[in-house]
Every structure is written in C-alpha cells, then in structure tokens.
Amino acid sequence: MCGRFSLYLPPAALESRFEAEPPADLQPRYNCAPGQSLPVLAADDTGRMRRMKWGFTPSWADESFDLINARVETVREKRSFTDAYESRRCLVPADGFYEWTRRDGGKWPYRVSFADDRPFAMAGLYETWTPPTRQAGIGEFGRDEPTGEERVEAFTVLTTEPNDLVSELHDRMAVVLRPEHERAWLDGFLDHETLATPISDDEFRAYPVSTRVNSPANDDPSLVEPVELGS
C-alpha cells in the first residue's frame, strides 16, 4: 500500500517539473498522511495544481469512505472507482514514500525514493463527495435539513505489485509513473499493462528512517534522513 509520502521539492522546482503552478501556500512536507490536504494535478487542470484531501469517497456514498489506495488490478471493475477511472484521473507529486516492515523484532519505517531523489508522480483518482442531508431532526416544514458540511474533493493513490526492492518491505507499492506516461495516464490513453508494471528496482533506493515518521504530527527534515535500525 501507500500510506505516507514526502514532498519537499521547492515550489519553483515543482512547477518546472510538472509545468503547473503549485498552491501558493505550499510548504515542504516530509510526512504527508491520509486526511491531509495535499497538492495534485487533475486531468482537467490547466497549468495549476490544486489541493485535495487524501482519502477518496465515491460520489454516491452515504458516508465517508476515506479510501487512500485503489488496487490497479481491480480499479476498472470496483464500483467505488469505475467512474473516476474513466474520467477523473490525477497525478500525485512526491519525492519519496514510506513503507513499514518487520526488522529486529519490531516494525520499522523505510523511505523509498529514486536514487537521485528526483520527484515523480503517483497515479491517482479523484472524486467530489457531498455529505448527505440529515435524515433525523427534520425541519419545520418536513424537509431534510442540510448538514452544513462542504463538498469534499479527495483523491486516492493506485497501487500495484512491488518491484524486487519494495517486495522486501511490503507486498504492494504505489504506481509510480514515468514522466513520458503521465500525460497518457491523465488523458486515458495509458494501457493497463504499462500502468500495472512497476518501475525497475535498480532505479530506486530504500533505507530505514526514524520511527518519528509513525506520527503525522511529526513533519520535519530529519524524517527523511537515514538512521541505524533500532536508533
């Protein structure tokens, strides 16, 4: 799965890489976590990224699902994702992601990134969900009262079988797109076999990081620094 990632590339460099202006208030993030509002580039965006909540809910749902991942093998058939797969795709910028594995009797976080730490895009889907009106506490004239909650725009990250490196840490990994495949993904032209094939492990590195990354409350540069296991 993909449950945490980092994105600390300077805004100017991020804009250059994706040819899209990031949110004006973008700050370096070393511990992006579900439920947070994070920058994505949607298929219908023209030169500008926008923020979405990480945790997808289908538009037809009566309650929040907060689905942070979608399996590439079933995303075309699963009711939660079929509509978004056809028409609401996005890129989720990152420069690394975290996976947890058992080492020395405990569960330890590892950071996975390209060997040169270059940014990349994970394949994502997004949806707009409107919380339903109340079914209890009906108003004076017998009509449902609105909840008062805003519409929620949210995304999920696709996952696939891991490459050899990540397979030592977890049985899933994020779908990391090659730059030449990003536009094809957004426009619906990337074939499913290419989408599901993980990038070769010889382009990646994985190293242990501090267990401080376990808490989303921690978000500072020390989280991406390598550590000795058990320290």
Catalytic residues, by residue number, are 2, 99
For residue 211, give both structure tokens. 């267990």
In 3D space, the residue among 57, 82, 14 whose CA is nearest the CA of residue 156 turns out to be 57
Q: Residue 131, class by beta-carbon neighbours within 10 Å (0-12 exposed, 13-18 middle, 19+ buried)?
A: middle
* DSSP for 151-173, written as a single string: PEEEEEEEEE---HHHHTT-S-E
Q: Which of 163, 180, 182 is nearest to 171 (CA)?
A: 163
Q: What is the rounded distance in angstroms from the CA atom of residue 103 to the CA atom of residue 106?
A: 5
Which positions ≥6 away from 195 have C-beta within 8 Å? 72, 123, 158, 160, 175, 181, 185
